[in-house]
Structure 1
Amino acid sequence: MNADLRDSDGAVKATVGAYGRPEATASPGDPAGSRRAATWIRRHGLSAGLALVLSYLVVFPLVRLQYLALQDGGRAYRDAFALPDIGKTVLTTVALGAGSLVISLVAGVSLAWFALRLPRRWAWLSAIPILPMVLPAVAVVVGWASLLSPQVGYLNIALRKLPFVDVQAPEVGLPSGPLNVYSIPWIIVVTGIQLTPLIFLFVQSSLRQLNFEAVEAAMVAGASPARCFLGIVVPLLRPAIVYSAAFAMLLGLGQLTAPQFLGTREGIRVLATEVYRFGGESPTDFPLAAAVASPLLLAGLAFILIQRVSLRRDFRFVSTGAKGTSRPGKPSRLAAPVIALYGLFTLVLPFGALALVAFSSFWTGMIDVDAFTLKNFERALSDESIIEALVTSITTSVGSILIALPLGYLLAEVIYRRRGNAAVRTILDVITQLPLGIPAVVFGVGFLYVYMGQPFQLYGSRLLIVITYVVLVLPFTVRLQLTARMSLGTAYEDAARASGASTLRAHLTVVVPMMRGAMAGASVLMFVILTHEFAASLFVRSTNTQVLGTLLYDEWTHGSYPMVAAVGLIMSAVTAAGLVVAVWVGGREATLDRL
């Protein structure tokens, strides 16, 4: 409670603040308007400034694109509806989103359940379902292509040697099949595998907080483990399943990596590839790209709304009792084999095929150990364009983290402490979550258009890549730091302020060190996302400014498959090294399984 200090004449000289320190007040001669302005700036300046900055960075490119699409009486929308096979493109997009969601949901929930029931000596296997998220998506996709290419895929060649596989040899060319990675079903499978770690992380975190007394009681009553899982555990996991499923569906609908690498050969198109065709390739048609991207925007808003409605009565999913103090019955004998088989299918096979291509002079599908060579790696590490792309990938990722981390801290502090106007805080909260619901391709084409002209001509610069990356990772750094801030509370900060520390010193010397683990975890997650980022990077790169993912795609389109495989392995090594450094700096709490 504030108190006034008055002189002998009764005039107010100063105001004593909440921590016992005098606060300066305006002199009687100051205009009332100046005093009100100073008070407003002190109370709402930070939140209002952040809202303005984020509105320009996040909202303005999206609004600008839609304004383009609506010009000339909605000409772009008419052109979009008149595109050949647009209906087939939309149906393929829906099939990709729904199919990959089903695969990732079933696999992610099952793996999370089996990971919890691993015998203690096999507990280390619980890290395997996370690894596909850590490895670069473009490298994984190229690995699947090396494995399942119809003519020279290593697995196809092995399958054709089996007596019960009947493959007719063509009159001209190599035998083909029986599997074809350049088809819609396999694009869906590869995308579903990439989304599985996301479901796994959400569900595993919720499983660790559940009380399994109800499960044990059901087992004592005679229920089988499968019935307990489907009838008790799954309903209790509904919040985590709904949230992760909505997020995975959005990522599947806006997926560009697998369709662009695997679908172009057979003419398979989804909305994301169409956005890139009109907005990222020459000649560009930004209004048409914006019109084609509109269904992705609407889908994001719709799924976010459905998620909020589905979880509006979240108290129904609370299990009473001590959380996480009991295990769901005896360890399962199937847990270790199932997770090991998943690791073999999603990690060992595709990356083994990628390594075989990388160490070969030519990709023929035949394995000749005596002909293995390191010349692809030597060429990659001596190629100036590849070295430049590697440096760009690292510097833009690290630079984006250095910007996004303190920006996320400020946003988390404003939202947590409820500083500033309530409407402004709500706007901040909504804006920071937009990149979660809007596919990266939409932001990519938006940034490309906005920053190609006045007043900021940033096309072809690393700064444009950094701005794009900061926007894409903002939701993750804000949510992780906000969760840690809520757990920390205000007691330590208040104690520091009462001891005479300024607001800045209290945060730098007390709050920030206590949030080191959360910040390190956010840095790890951001580094993983940014080093793998491909969709938005494909728009904002230029011929002279590339990251490893976009350079790998150019090599892929030119048919340099051994070089593509070598660059893919280099990308994986860079990601692994970055994770080791981040975990070393942040400690054990920086590991991905604690995010």
Structure 2
Amino acid sequence: MTKTLDKPVAEATRPEPTPSARTRRRLIPGGEGHQLLWVLLAVAVGVAVLLPIIPLQIRAWENDADGMRRLTDFHGIGEVFRTTLMLGVGGLVVGLTMGTILALCAYSMTPGLRRWLEFTPVLPMIIPSVAHVVGFVFLFSPENGYVNSFLRWTPFFGGDSGPINVYTLPWIIFYTGTHLAAFVYMFVYTGLRNLGSDYGLAARVNGAGGARALFTITLPLLRPSFVYAGVVVLLLSLGQFTGPLILGRREGVDVITTEMYELSAEYPVDYALASALGTPLIILAIVLVIAQKKMLGNQARFVGQGTATVDNRMLSPVVSGISAAIVGAYVFVAAILPLLAIGFVAFSPYWSGSLDFSAMTSVNLSAVIEDEQVRQSIVTTLVVSVLGVLLVLPVGMLISLGIYNRDKLWRPLPTVLDVLANLPLTVPAALLGFGFLFAFSSDWIGIYGTQFSLILAYMTIMIPYSVRYQLSTLVSLGKQTMEASQVSGAHPVRTFFQIILPLSRTGIATSAAVMFVLLTHEFGVSLLLRAPDVSVMSVVLYDQYNGGSYPKVAVIALLMTVLTAIGVIVAMIFGGRKALEKF
């Protein structure tokens, strides 16, 4: 009795914990030791994504900022910055305009047409970037371009070249905007579907015309979509590398990324000057990300619940037909025509600009298949892409779990993981490639010229995609199923392997297929990390293009497109048509 009275009342009456309560675990245990593991994860991710950025920037500012001082004396630097800015702003304007029109057209089509055409504006993103640029060269080269040959055949144009010159800055801007319009389309069209039709119908009922409802209701509510799409497209336009490198060199159109590549081709490599060239892009990216958050402000102002109701719009068949024609015209110019041009050149003895079907041959295909360098590049592409995906998937899952369960981690950790995971998206691929070149060729790492260097680089640039795709899968699962497992006494590890992984299997498989496709497209980082015996298909294609072997270039582009198509088919098997939205 005395012992009982000596205890505090709460302690004396507290029931003994039941076995199920003892074994109950949270998805992420909160002990100090477990928190340390997540800190180590954040450190590892930080090292991976900052390795190609920080050491290179140190070179620009060391020795009394020698690299930055020499940048001001660099010949033609003002013109390079002006061209880069014009490409960025021009690509933004063209891409934002095209993408918004495409999204509005797709949303204005009848359900039957929309079901078949809504995914088609994404097709230009699925074509490998190097192959896509080469397709535009075959179409719009001033001398031998098929479109130019057709235009000169008409009574409106004459001469031996033109009227379109794809190698000039205005047409490089047009190509960039046309290619990036697919990004804008995904953001805006998804926003329209989430917004629903209720607000527009309410405005129409109150007497507003279609144009007024569009400009005063629909477009303002899509502000988050426009801000996200605008910042992404501007960053991608400023950091363009493939288009300016292939299209701009003939007419002397240089941007920051191509100048950095030219410096990497010199020996010894001037890392200080090259990193100084990339510094304005990094600063601008940081400013744009901050501005993006400021422009969005309180996003709750833009949240609509229109999707909770049935789409009861009265869609005009005429408007639907016109919208379908506009979408079809974009897809024809941006995707179908380049592929047709690549296919015709691949089976022609040479690229002449004329269509002679009687001379078509498979000699080029046989020559490419028998080429040891091409065969080795195919093997290298498959090996480094598959291993890169397999290694980045668990990393992305761990980061996603940390972000998703932010309430169970130390407060700064989820934010740090989120920022670090998305950092590679804000840095141009050419700048990342140059950073990897500097880091991997240093004495303290020394893996430059190996497949392992490509695998590590691929893992780093895929971290944002791995996290984004798998985090969306976790969000779609919800926490109820996981919490039910934990309440039933399952250990967090058992919950992960028996609940989360089986339910996430489809999403993970889709994400893996999408990332495989993106890695087979990769060019900027791969070009800067190439070695005589380690090259991927996109780099070999570029070498053949520089050598003037245009039929072989077309065959390699076709092989890359076939490889991409296989990855897309696998992604659609697991994720359906919505898998295309992940590109």
- Contact kept, 8 Å, 2:194 with 2:306, in 1: the verdict is no
Q: Which amino acid aligns with 2:332?
A: L
- Measured after TM superposition, the shift of residue 409 of structure 1 is 0.8
Q: Which amino acid aligns with 1:333?
A: G
Q: Gaps (5+ residues) in structure 2? A: 1-10, 25-29
2:530 corresponds, among 511, 520, 541, to: 541
Name the structure 1 match of 2:566: 577
Name the structure 2 match of 1:319: 304
Cα distance change, pair 437–144 in 1 and its aligned pair in 2 (3 A): same
- Measured after TM superposition, the shift of residue 117 of structure 1 is 1.9
Alignment of 1:156-555 (within 5 A): 156-167=148-159, 175-323=160-308, 325-326=310-311, 328-331=313-316, 332-418=320-406, 419-555=408-544
The 3-state SS of whatever aligns with 2:444 is coil
Is the counterpart of residue 50 in structure 1 residue 61 in structure 2? no
Name the structure 2 match of 1:20: 21
- Contact kept, 8 Å, 1:255 with 1:272, in 2: the verdict is yes
> 1:176-230 CA distances to partner (integer Å, 9 max, x unpaired)?
2111011101111111111111111111111111132221233345544333323
Name the structure 2 match of 1:566: 555
- Contact kept, 8 Å, 1:132 with 1:197, in 2: the verdict is yes
- Measured after TM superposition, the shift of residue 318 of structure 1 is 2.1
Q: Which amino acid aligns with 1:192?
A: G
Q: Which amino acid aligns with 1:452?
A: S
- Measured after TM superposition, the shift of residue 350 of structure 1 is 1.7
- Contact kept, 8 Å, 2:139 with 2:338, in 1: the verdict is yes
Aligned length: 561
**TM-score of the two chains, using structure 1 as the length reference:** 0.90
Cα distance change, pair 136–281 in 1 and its aligned pair in 2 (3 A): farther
Counterparts of 2:486 and 2:84, CA distance in 1:
54
Counterparts of 1:299 and 1:164, CA distance in 2:
44
**RMSD across aligned positions (CA):** 2.3
Cα distance change, pair 77–520 in 1 and its aligned pair in 2 (3 A): same
- Measured after TM superposition, the shift of residue 79 of structure 1 is 1.6
Alignment of 1:17-96 (within 5 A): 19-21=20-22, 39-42=31-34, 44-96=35-87
Counterparts of 1:528 and 1:18, CA distance in 2:
49
- Contact kept, 8 Å, 1:62 with 1:446, in 2: the verdict is yes
Q: Which amino acid aligns with 1:425?
A: P
Query: Does 94-103 or 500-509 show the bigger shift?
Result: 500-509
- Contact kept, 8 Å, 1:141 with 1:258, in 2: the verdict is yes
1:135 corresponds, among 121, 127, 137, to: 127
Counterparts of 2:439 and 2:475, CA distance in 1:
36
The 3-state SS of whatever aligns with 1:151 is coil
Query: Does 457-466 or 492-501 show the bigger shift?
Result: 492-501
Q: Which amino acid aligns with 2:296?
A: L
Q: Which amino acid aligns with 2:423?
A: L
Counterparts of 1:483 and 1:466, CA distance in 2:
25
- Measured after TM superposition, the shift of residue 325 of structure 1 is 2.6
Q: Which amino acid aligns with 2:566?
A: A
- Contact kept, 8 Å, 2:510 with 2:579, in 1: the verdict is yes
Cα distance change, pair 327–382 in 1 and its aligned pair in 2 (3 A): farther
Counterparts of 1:321 and 1:116, CA distance in 2:
14
The 3-state SS of whatever aligns with 1:591 is helix
The 3-state SS of whatever aligns with 1:333 is helix
- Contact kept, 8 Å, 1:109 with 1:203, in 2: the verdict is yes
Cα distance change, pair 517–327 in 1 and its aligned pair in 2 (3 A): farther
- Contact kept, 8 Å, 2:511 with 2:571, in 1: the verdict is no
Cα distance change, pair 327–67 in 1 and its aligned pair in 2 (3 A): farther
- Measured after TM superposition, the shift of residue 432 of structure 1 is 0.7
- Contact kept, 8 Å, 1:46 with 1:420, in 2: the verdict is no
- Contact kept, 8 Å, 1:209 with 1:323, in 2: the verdict is no
Counterparts of 2:181 and 2:173, CA distance in 1:
12
- Measured after TM superposition, the shift of residue 145 of structure 1 is 0.4
Q: Which amino acid aligns with 2:105?
A: F
- Contact kept, 8 Å, 2:572 with 2:580, in 1: the verdict is no
1:114 corresponds, among 105, 113, 132, to: 105
Name the structure 1 match of 2:4: none
> 1:454-484 CA distances to partner (integer Å, 9 max, x unpaired)?
3322111111111111111211221222233
Cα distance change, pair 528–224 in 1 and its aligned pair in 2 (3 A): farther
Counterparts of 2:18 and 2:417, CA distance in 1:
28
Counterparts of 2:233 and 2:87, CA distance in 1:
11
Cα distance change, pair 18–64 in 1 and its aligned pair in 2 (3 A): farther
Q: Which amino acid aligns with 1:229?
A: L
Cα distance change, pair 326–88 in 1 and its aligned pair in 2 (3 A): same
- Measured after TM superposition, the shift of residue 528 of structure 1 is 2.8
Cα distance change, pair 539–18 in 1 and its aligned pair in 2 (3 A): farther
The 3-state SS of whatever aligns with 2:109 is coil
Cα distance change, pair 215–363 in 1 and its aligned pair in 2 (3 A): same
- Measured after TM superposition, the shift of residue 280 of structure 1 is 4.9
Name the structure 2 match of 1:591: 579
> 1:375-394 CA distances to partner (integer Å, 9 max, x unpaired)?
11111111111111111112
> 1:331-375 CA distances to partner (integer Å, 9 max, x unpaired)?
423111111111111122222222221111111112111110111
- Contact kept, 8 Å, 1:524 with 1:590, in 2: the verdict is no
The structure where helix makes up a greater share of residues is 2
**TM-score of the two chains, using structure 2 as the length reference:** 0.92
- Contact kept, 8 Å, 2:393 with 2:512, in 1: the verdict is yes
- Contact kept, 8 Å, 1:215 with 1:233, in 2: the verdict is yes
The 3-state SS of whatever aligns with 2:51 is helix
Is the counterpart of residue 154 in structure 1 residue 143 in structure 2? no
- Measured after TM superposition, the shift of residue 506 of structure 1 is 1.0
Query: Does 185-194 or 453-462 show the bigger shift?
Result: 453-462
Q: Which amino acid aligns with 2:254?
A: R
- Amino-acid identity (%): 36
> 1:523-572 CA distances to partner (integer Å, 9 max, x unpaired)?
23322321111111111121211111111111111111111111111100
Name the structure 2 match of 1:33: none
- Measured after TM superposition, the shift of residue 283 of structure 1 is 3.9
Counterparts of 1:145 and 1:322, CA distance in 2:
43
- Contact kept, 8 Å, 1:451 with 1:459, in 2: the verdict is yes
The 3-state SS of whatever aligns with 2:350 is coil
Counterparts of 1:540 and 1:125, CA distance in 2:
39
Cα distance change, pair 227–394 in 1 and its aligned pair in 2 (3 A): farther
- Contact kept, 8 Å, 1:210 with 1:323, in 2: the verdict is no
Counterparts of 2:293 and 2:20, CA distance in 1:
40
Query: Does 209-218 or 284-293 show the bigger shift?
Result: 209-218
Cα distance change, pair 116–327 in 1 and its aligned pair in 2 (3 A): farther
The 3-state SS of whatever aligns with 2:542 is helix
Counterparts of 2:373 and 2:571, CA distance in 1:
27
- Measured after TM superposition, the shift of residue 77 of structure 1 is 1.1
Counterparts of 2:377 and 2:312, CA distance in 1:
47
Counterparts of 2:296 and 2:280, CA distance in 1:
24
Alignment of 1:89-104 (within 5 A): 89-104=80-95
The 3-state SS of whatever aligns with 1:316 is helix
- Measured after TM superposition, the shift of residue 324 of structure 1 is 5.8
> 1:423-475 CA distances to partner (integer Å, 9 max, x unpaired)?
23322111111111111111111111111123322111111111111111211
Cα distance change, pair 121–488 in 1 and its aligned pair in 2 (3 A): closer
- Contact kept, 8 Å, 2:52 with 2:433, in 1: the verdict is no
